[in-house]
């Protein structure tokens, strides 16, 4: 995007309203402890400090903890313990990096100095950091209500008998390590109260409308009293899709102090405070018959969810259907066990379970091919879902409406010159080098999540000067979506790209919007934008008919103009927009939405 590469971006760190204050979060230095006391006296007396808030202050003002909302069961059949995350810890620390106190000062330097003066007295408690440790006999409980540290269980399918009866069974146990997203732009939030008394949050977040609803609930105000603005976001990857304590804290402090409050994460702070990703272990079995046909797949996943539970903890469930891959597997069974540990919360990150699902089936196929002495490429071809089977129900979770998987594989093989690989490998060996050939057939839900698709909206307005404003529910976090959606409008309306102003990430612009995530910007947001263009043209034809004293069916549209068929008369978009504004101040404007099929 030209605007970004020429230094015209507007990130949270660029927003600096008058009388803005700065904040620092005091974080837990231990993974498991009881909080005996928090002494803020010295910090409050430090020069330039305006306030130091603790969990007691929030409790006194009636602020709740973050909701859990997980309805899955535990092994004993009881509902999952609602392990709700506090905005600021009160009497119990469960992970390093948890927010303990919030310091607000005139300058960042003053806030940092005061944060060092907050004294947190704790009593250490036993800690479990891994799933293995948490599930060990007599392991300390992260939550008393879950003494076995099991947060939830989920299971679907039954492949046990088919595995037992298979001619060949291949097994894989593995672990996908925990990661930190570390987006190029760290998280940040600036809270203020506008002239109308509304709470306004400028945030580095990929889902402004979802964040708006969460903040309204946490701060106990009507949704129309909250506005979220996320103009430019420098990377997100799922990590920035939820509400964080700092989002609540800057608004809480701004409301208390009557001044804007900004918090920007330090890079080292990101490792501690951002939601983590992955950290999944699994045991998997793939059964084949004597002809090398897949008969059954069974996978047991163990997810380290961290110390708190929310719907974001269920990220693997959104894409677990991907274990079926693009293959015909008559019997599929899978289970997920979420386990509490004294680590930071685990949440969606880059595919949110899809890479793990793909890894399971594709790695098992490679193992089977190796042990059976078969070509892994040919083994995959043998088991693909053919086009003639479409639409295809995997019998597990996903249903495929279409797919030419063999064509995909053969096309890629040609591009990669698979036929010449052996010669290249031999040449590498002569030079003392190793050469390998890897392959995988990932399948992913576009415009997900699969379990709960979200619609998107686009509003398009044509101005009297012939320019347009595109209000998009889909937003960019670094993918060039601004250019893509602008081009859709430019091509559809016959305008230059420079004539279109793109607006996204402001909850005041639209009643709802997907934001970013789930591979849905073009599939859903682009479709909504296309529909908005179609509606503009349809409305424009009716208005042009009024101007040309004709019927709408006799009005065409091309290259930004509405010609009257059979004549040399026409009017342009700008002419029609001026005519529309003369009839109604709203002018030539249309809103369209698109909901992906479930």
Give the C-alpha separation, 15 to 287, whole Å: 57
Q: In the prediction, which pLDDT does 179 show? A: 94
DSSP 147-203: TT-EEEEEEE---HHHHHT-SEEEEEEEEEEEEE---SSPPEEEEEE-TTS-EEEEE
Give the residue from 549, 546, 531, 550 showing the smallest Cα distance to 578. 546
DSSP 370-437: HHHT--HHHHHHHHBPPGGG-SEE-SSS-EES---HHHHHHHHHHHTTGGGHHHHHHHHHHTT-----
Give the C-alpha separation, 490 to 496, whole Å: 6
How much is the average pLDDT of 178-206? 96
- The angle subtended at Cα 48 by Cα 44 and Cα 53, nearest 5°, is 40
Residue with tokens 């129309």: 224
Tell me: pLDDT of 272 over 90.
yes
How much is the average pLDDT of 198-226? 97
Q: In the prediction, which pLDDT does 448 show? A: 72
229 within 8 A of 506, measured Cβ to Cβ: yes
Q: In the prediction, which pLDDT does 343 show? A: 97
Listed in sequence order, the residues at least 6 apart from 258 whose beta carbon sits closer than 8 Å to its beta carbon are 193
Q: Which two tokens mark 253?
A: 């402090």
Q: In the prediction, which pLDDT does 444 show? A: 86
How far, rounded to the nearest angstrom, does the alpha carbon of residue 405 sit from its chain's CA centroid? 27
Give the pLDDT band (50/70/90) at residue 198. Answer: very high
User: Per mean pLDDT, which range of 16-20, 90-94, 255-259, 474-478 is the poorest?
Assistant: 474-478
How much is the average pLDDT of 358-379? 97
Note the pLDDT tens digit of each residue in 555-564: 999 999 999 9
Q: In the prediction, which pLDDT does 203 show? A: 96
Among residues of the chain, what percentage have pLDDT more than 90?
92
- At 25, is the secondary structure helix, strand, or coil? strand
| Predicted model pTM | 0.93
Q: In the prediction, which pLDDT does 396 show? A: 94
310 within 8 A of 243, measured Cβ to Cβ: no
151 within 8 A of 73, measured Cβ to Cβ: no
Buried b (16+ CB within 10 A) or exposed e, 249-270: bbbbbbbebebbbbbbbeeebb
Cβ-based burial of 139 (10 A; exposed 0-12, middle 13-18, buried ≥19): middle
251 within 8 A of 219, measured Cβ to Cβ: yes
How much is the average pLDDT of 577-594? 95
Note the pLDDT tens digit of each residue in 449-462: 776 788 999 999 99
Tell me: pLDDT of 67 over 80.
yes
Give the C-alpha separation, 458 to 396, whole Å: 34
| Domains of the chain: residue spans and CATH | 2-125+182-273 (3.90.1170.50), 150-179+275-430 (3.30.365.10), 456-594 (3.30.365.10)
Q: Which two tokens mark 402?
A: 């279409």
- At 18, is the secondary structure helix, strand, or coil? coil
Question: What's the chain's average pLDDT?
Answer: 95
Give the pLDDT band (50/70/90) at residue 101. Answer: very high
Q: In the prediction, which pLDDT does 501 show? A: 95
Give the pLDDT band (50/70/90) at residue 479. Answer: confident
Give the C-alpha separation, 37 to 33, whole Å: 12
Give the pLDDT band (50/70/90) at residue 131. Answer: very high
Q: In the prediction, which pLDDT does 447 show? A: 78
Q: In the prediction, which pLDDT does 478 show? A: 87
Cβ-based burial of 469 (10 A; exposed 0-12, middle 13-18, buried ≥19): middle
| Three state DSSP letters for 221-269 | CCHHHEEEECCCCCCCCCCCCCCCHHHHHHHHHHHHHCCCEEEECCHHH
Give the pLDDT band (50/70/90) at residue 567. Answer: very high
Give the pLDDT band (50/70/90) at residue 565. Answer: very high
Would the CA dihedral through 56, 145, 148, 359 be positive or negative?
negative
Tell me: pLDDT of 357 over 80.
yes
Strand 468-472 relative to strand 500-504, pairing: parallel
Give the C-alpha separation, 275 to 178, whole Å: 11
Q: Peptide bond before 391: cis, by omega within 30 degrees of 0?
A: yes
550 within 8 A of 566, measured Cβ to Cβ: no
Cβ-based burial of 569 (10 A; exposed 0-12, middle 13-18, buried ≥19): middle
- At 53, is the secondary structure helix, strand, or coil? strand
Tell me: pLDDT of 105 over 80.
yes
Give the pLDDT band (50/70/90) at residue 2. Answer: confident
């Amino acid at each position: 995007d030209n605007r970004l590469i020429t230094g015209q971006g507007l990130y949270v760190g660029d927003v600096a309203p008058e009388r803005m204050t700065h904040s620092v979060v005091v974080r837990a230095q231990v993974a498991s402890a009881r909080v005996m006391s928090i002494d803020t006296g010295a910090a409050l007396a430090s020069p330039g400090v305006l306030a130091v808030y603790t969990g007691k202050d929030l409790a006194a003002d009636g602020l709740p903890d973050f909701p859990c909302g997980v309805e899955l069961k535990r092994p004993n059949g009881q509902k999952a313990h609602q392990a709700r995350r506090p905005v600021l810890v009160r009497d119990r620390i469960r992970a390093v990096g948890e927010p303990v106190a919030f310091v607000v000062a005139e300058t960042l330097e003053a806030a940092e100095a005061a944060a060092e003066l907050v004294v947190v007295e704790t009593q250490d408690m036993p800690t479990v950091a891994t799933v293995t440790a948490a599930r060990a006999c007599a392991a300390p409980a992260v939550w008393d209500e879950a003494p076995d540290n099991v947060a939830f269980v989920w299971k679907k399918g039954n492949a046990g008998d088919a595995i037992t009866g298979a001619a060949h069974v291949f097994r894989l146990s593995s672990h996908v390590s925990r990661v930190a997203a570390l987006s190029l732009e760290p998280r940040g939030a600036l809270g203020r109260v506008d002239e109308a008394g509304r709470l306004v949050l400028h945030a580095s977040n990929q889902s402004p409308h979802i964040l708006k609803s969460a903040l309204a609930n946490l701060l106990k105000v009507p949704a129309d009293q909250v506005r979220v603005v996320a103009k430019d976001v420098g990377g997100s990857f799922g990590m920035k899709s939820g509400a964080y304590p700092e989002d609540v804290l800057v608004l809480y402090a701004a409301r208390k102090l009557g001044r804007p409050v900004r918090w920007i994460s330090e890079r080292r702070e990101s490792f501690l405070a951002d939601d983590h990703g992955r950290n999944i272990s699994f045991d998997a079995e793939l059964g084949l018959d004597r002809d090398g046909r897949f008969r059954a797949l069974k996978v047991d996943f163990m997810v380290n969810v961290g110390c708190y539970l929310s719907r974001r903890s269920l990220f693997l469930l959104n894409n677990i259907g991907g274990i079926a891959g693009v293959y015909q597997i008559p019997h599929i069974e899978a289970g997920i066990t979420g386990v509490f540990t004294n680590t930071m919360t685990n949440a969606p990150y880059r595919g949110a379970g899809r890479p793990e699902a793909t890894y399971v089936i594709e790695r098992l196929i490679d193992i089977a091919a190796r042990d059976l002495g078969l070509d892994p490429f040919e083994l995959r071809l043998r088991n693909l879902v053919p086009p003639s089977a479409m639409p295809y129900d995997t019998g597990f979770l996903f249903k495929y409406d279409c797919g030419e998987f063999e064509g995909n594989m053969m096309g890629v093989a040609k591009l990669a010159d698979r036929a010449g690989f052996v010669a290249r490998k031999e040449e590498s060996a002569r030079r003392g080098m190793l050469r390998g050939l890897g392959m995988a057939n990932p399948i992913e839900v576009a415009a997900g999540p699969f379990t709960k698709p979200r619609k998107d909206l686009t509003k398009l307005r044509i101005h009297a000067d012939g320019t347009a404003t595109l209000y998009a529910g889909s937003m960019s976090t670094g993918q060039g979506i601004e250019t893509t959606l602008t081009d859709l409008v430019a091509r559809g309306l016959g305008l230059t790209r420079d004539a279109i102003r793109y607006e996204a990430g402001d909850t005041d612009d639209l009643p709802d919007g997907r934001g970013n995530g789930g591979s849905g910007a073009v599939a859903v947001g682009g479709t909504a934008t296309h529909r908005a263009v179609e509606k503009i043209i349809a409305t424009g034809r009716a208005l042009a008919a009024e101007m040309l004293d004709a019927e709408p069916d006799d009005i065409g549209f091309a290259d930004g103009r509405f010609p009257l068929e059979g004549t040399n008369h026409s009017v342009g978009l700008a002419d029609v927009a001026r005519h529309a504004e003369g009839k109604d101040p709203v002018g030539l404007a249309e809103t369209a939405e698109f909901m992906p099929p479930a």
